[in-house]
Amino acid sequence: MSAESTNALLSGEPAGRARPSLRERKKERTRRTIRTEAFRLFREQGYTETTVEQIAEAADVSPSTFFRYFPSKEELVLADDLDPPMIQAIDRQPPGKPILAAIRDATIDAFGEIDPETFEFERERVALVYSVPELRGAVTREFERNIALMSGIVARRLGRDEEDFEVRALVGALTGAMFALIGREPFSQQQIVRVIDFLESGMRI
C-alpha cells in the first residue's frame, strides 16, 4: 500500500475510529484539493498536457508542496484511496470466516462507508488509468502492488506465509480477474462481488 493511500482519511469516520487531529485534517484537505484540481485540469486539457506546475497553481500550493504529497503526476493518479477502508473492513471480519467470503463482505462494508463524492472520484481515476496511453505502463506496477498487498492480507488471516503457493494463486486469480474487467466495465462494488462469487463457485462456466 502506498504512503498516499495509508494517509488517506475519508470523511464519515465509523464509530470507534479515532477522529483525525486538526493537522491531519488540514493535510487531507490540501491533498484532496490538489487531486481535485488535477482531475479538473485533466478533464479540461488532457492528462499529458497538464503539468505539475499548473496543478500546483490551481490548488494554490507551491510545486514543492505538491511533491510532498505526491512523488509525481503519475503517482497522484495511481494513489488508491479505497485501500485503507478495504483493509480495515477485512480486518473486522470474524477470524473463522472463509477468506473469499471475508473479502466479499468487507467489500460491501467498505463501499458502504465511503461517500458518493469519493466513489465517483475513484471511478474517474480508474477510468483515467486505463484510457491514457502514458499511464498504461503503470498498470503492471499496480497489478504487482495489488498482489503484494492482498497476499499480505490473506496470509495474515490464514496464518500462512505470503509466498505460500495457495495464497499467491488465490490472490493472483482474484487480482487477475479484476484487472481483466477494469476498463471494460464501470468500476463498482457489484463488479468486485461478482468476481468473488464466480471464484467461490469454482469458476464454473
Give the pLDDT confidence of 70-99 residue by residue, as tens digits.
999 999 998 888 888 899 999 999 988 999
Q: Same domain, yes or no, for 88 and 164? A: yes
Q: Same domain, yes or no, for 99 and 165? A: yes
pLDDT of residue 142: 81
143-177 b/e (C-beta count within 10 Å ≥ 16 → b): eebbbebbbebbbebeeeebeeeebbebbeebbeb
pLDDT of residue 18: 63
3-state helix, strand, coil in the chain (%, to 5): 70, 0, 30
Query: Residues 107-135: pLDDT tens digits?
Result: 999 998 888 888 889 889 988 888 888 88
Domain boundary among 25, 42, 77: 77
pLDDT of residue 119: 87
Range of the domain at 18: 1-77
Collect all residues with Cβ–Cβ distance below 8 Å to 35 and sequence separation of at least 6. 76, 79, 121
Of 123, 138, 126, 127, the residue nearest 72 (C-alpha): 138
- Count the neighbouring beta carbons within 10 Å of the beta carbon of residue 131: 11
CB 195 within 8 A of CB 174: yes
pLDDT of residue 8: 40
Which parts of the chain register pLDDT below 50? 1-16
Collect all residues with Cβ–Cβ distance below 8 Å to 78 and sequence separation of at least 6. 2, 129, 135, 138, 141, 142
Three-state secondary-structure class, residue 185: strand
Whole-Å CA distances, 126 to 18, 26, 183, 190? 29, 26, 7, 15
Whole-Å CA distances, 106 to 51, 93, 99, 132, 136? 37, 7, 10, 30, 29
Q: Same domain, yes or no, for 89 and 177? A: yes
C-alpha span between 18 and 26 (Å, rounded): 16
Domain boundary among 43, 58, 77: 77
Say how many domains are in the chain: 2
What does pTM read for this prediction?
A: 0.74
Write the CATH number for 141: 1.10.357.10
Q: Same domain, yes or no, for 121 and 145? A: yes
